Amino acid sequence: MILSKVKKMKIGQLGNIDINGKSALISVNPKIYTLSAIFSAAQTLSDEAYFIIDGNPSEEIFVEIRGKKEEDATSLAYKFNEELVNHIVYEQRDMQTKKIKKMIMQKMLMPEKYDHYIDKAILEKITKNECELKDDEIDKIRLE
Amino acid sequence: MMKSIKLDLNKQFYTRESITEAAKAFEKMIDVMISEEGNRYKLSLDVFENIDADEVKGEFVNYCMIFSKRKIKPHLFWTYNYEL
């Protein structure tokens, strides 16, 4: 469904938004945007709009937006898309630095004699100031 | 006089606990009846006539969404913005 929309799309036109009067229906690909990113984006705009989330979390998610005041549905939909990107970037960054942050907390809270509990490879990364993990390392953390 | 609003929420996105939490938050304004049908929660909200039904409905669903999100993503105290 989305692919057919994307094929029809012209440059500069966002193909995931359907405007229906005062409300907008946005379709989101759950393989790109996580459920928590969608919820976070909606929560960020919850002062400006009402949201209903529906669809299938493994195939396609629909977000219906209706402005609380007279705000244009199109601009709210664009704002939502923007927030979605912000949150997914934040989540990716969070995931990349998750292990490092955990290690830093452990190092801060635990006395030095327990240092052997800390993963040596990660500790080395901290000391070298390499705070980003590779994609396969992120996948491992996601599975944990 | 009360008027009744029907609501239909997908179970895959809204938890039962979040709906009851939202119902608790709105208890002075509305009465909520929850029933289940397949993978959906069927809600009936009874609202006083002098209250804007559309506004209450929208706010109620927003609350359900926020409470459901907490179950999916409990915030970490060291994240830069703990409210998100």
Per-residue pLDDT tens for A62-114?
A: 999 999 988 888 899 999 999 999 999 998 888 888 777 777 777 778 777 76
| pLDDT digits 0-9 by tens, A7-20 | 554 544 567 888 88
Is A39 in the same domain as A105? no
Q: In chain B, whose CA is at the least distance from the CA of A66?
A: B58
Partners of A56 on chain B (C-beta within 8 Å) are: 12
Domains of chain B, earliest start first: 2-72 (3.30.70.60)
Mean pLDDT by runs of 10 across the 84 residues of chain B is 88 92 90 91 89 89 89 52 43
CA distance A128 to A134: 15
What does the pLDDT read at residue B80? Answer: 45
Is A72 in the same domain as A117? no
SS3 content of chain B, % helix, strand, coil (to 5): 35, 30, 35
Amino acid letter, residue B57: K
Distance separating the N- and C-terminal Cα atoms of chain A: 33
CA distance A142 to A92: 11
What does the pLDDT read at residue A41? Answer: 94
Partners of A55 on chain B (C-beta within 8 Å) are: 10
**Residue A92 contacts B where some CB pair is shorter than 8 Å:** no
Single pTM value for the model: 0.73
CB–CB contact A43 B65 (8 Å): yes
Mean pLDDT, residues A113-139 taken together: 64
Question: Where would I find the beta strands (DSSP E) of chain B?
Answer: 2-10, 30-37, 40-48
Q: Do the Cβ atoms of B78 and A105 come closer than 8 Å?
A: yes
3-class secondary structure, B6 = strand
CB–CB contact A39 B68 (8 Å): yes
Q: Out of A23-32, A125-134, B36-45, which region has the weakest mean confidence (pLDDT)?
A: A125-134
Best B42, B73, B79, B80 member to test A by mutation, with max A CBs in 10 Å, is B73
Is A35 in the same domain as A66? yes
Identify how many contiguous H helices and E strands chain B contains and give both numbers: 2, 3
How many separate domains does chain A show?
Answer: 2
Is A72 in the same domain as A107? no
Q: Name the more confident of A5 and A37.
A: A37
Whether the complex's predicted ipTM surpasses the cut of 0.85: no
What does the pLDDT read at residue A87? Answer: 93
Domain of residue A117 covers 98-143
Best B8, B10, B67 member to test A by mutation, with max A CBs in 10 Å, is B10
**Residue B56 contacts A where some CB pair is shorter than 8 Å:** no
